[in-house]
Amino acid sequence: MNVLKVPGRTIAVFILPCLLIYVGLVFVPILVSFYSSLLDWNGIGASKFIGFDNYVQMFTADPVFWPAVKRTLMFAVFSMVEIPVALFVAILLNRYIRKPNFLVSSYFLPVILSVVIVGQLWKTIYNPASLGGMLNQVLMAVGLESWTKAWLTDPSVAMYALYIVALWQYLGYHVLIQFTGIQNIPSEVYEAAKIDGAEGFTADRYITLPMVVPIFKISIVLAFIGSLQAFDMIMVMTGGGPAHATDVIATLMYNMSFLSMKYGYGSALASFLVVLCLIATVIINFLFKKLEARYT
């Protein structure tokens, strides 16, 4: 095979600008945020270097922090529910629908909607029946009055109400990813399996599932890491309330940095979130490494 030999300097000329931009946009803000986390600073006035005091306070004295970490992790775990569902829907679309593009686009529609629109839409659905809340009205119509709740203002159910919205909005995103992965499997593989007597769900078990493992991993990484950074939808629907019942790390970081004017402490929360995302990515890649090696 002929290999085009390109001098290292030429490669550097093309790569270096992009590398510098990437470092400037990704790593420099992380380093600046970490440095800010070592300061007692309100973001405007003079700052004072206090070392790791913000982290000590965060881990030992903040009563809101650990519950927010727990909700963040739960949000990420709940986001995993839609991945196998999306795969199942993608398999059905690929097998039974002759021209599935319209249905795939329909599933994808909530993804392209603004988070503000989605949040306002679901706030209307979750409203009390007296304010026209559709969910409570449906429950009353079918004789389940005892199930009606103030979904977004009851601390015991508010976070679960947000989980449902996130699952609804991003299901289509993962259906599209899984569907694309399934369609890239050569049809000859299925035809050969059919000759050997494997079709339907048997073919899916021994062909589809092993061959979509890399796509499955991408979906899980995107869903898990995206959920760890959940912010906009929660801010639109509850703002972290009631009484911090829906606060996650990102909303707590925003409230501390810009409402409580504790920019240094908010930066400590941001640094913790970055580390959490890195750890999650490493763990997911480690778990899938053996699985990918087995089927590739």
pLDDT tens track, the chain, 296 positions = 555 677 878 888 888 999 999 999 989 999 999 999 999 998 888 889 999 999 999 999 999 999 999 999 999 998 888 899 999 999 898 888 877 888 888 888 888 888 899 999 999 999 988 888 899 999 999 999 889 888 999 999 999 999 999 999 999 999 999 999 998 888 888 888 888 887 788 888 888 888 888 888 889 988 988 888 889 999 999 988 888 899 999 999 999 999 999 999 999 999 999 999 999 989 988 888 877 777 66
Cα separation, 243 vs 61, whole angstroms: 18
What confidence tens digit (pLDDT) does each residue in 236-277 have? 999 888 888 999 999 999 999 999 999 999 999 999 999 999
SS3 294: helix
Of 83, 293, 80, 287, the C-alpha closest to 178 is 83
* Residue 247 and residue 240 in contact, taking contact as beta carbons nearer than 8 Å: yes
Cα separation, 265 vs 288, whole angstroms: 35
3-state secondary structure of 88: helix
Of 134, 108, 130, nearest in space to 121 by CA: 134
* Phi–psi pair at 247, nearest 5 degrees: -70, 130
Whole-number Å distance between alpha carbons of 34 and 269: 10
b/e burial code for range 21-56 (CB count within 10 A of at least 16 → b) = eeeeeeeeeeeebeebbbbbbeeeeeeeeeeebbbe
Instruction: Answer whether 233's CB lies under 8 Å from 53's CB.
Output: no
> Which residue segments constitute the domains of the chain, with CATH numbers given?
59-293 (1.10.3720.10)
Q: How far is CA 202 from CA 25, 209, 212, 217, in A?
A: 47, 10, 15, 22
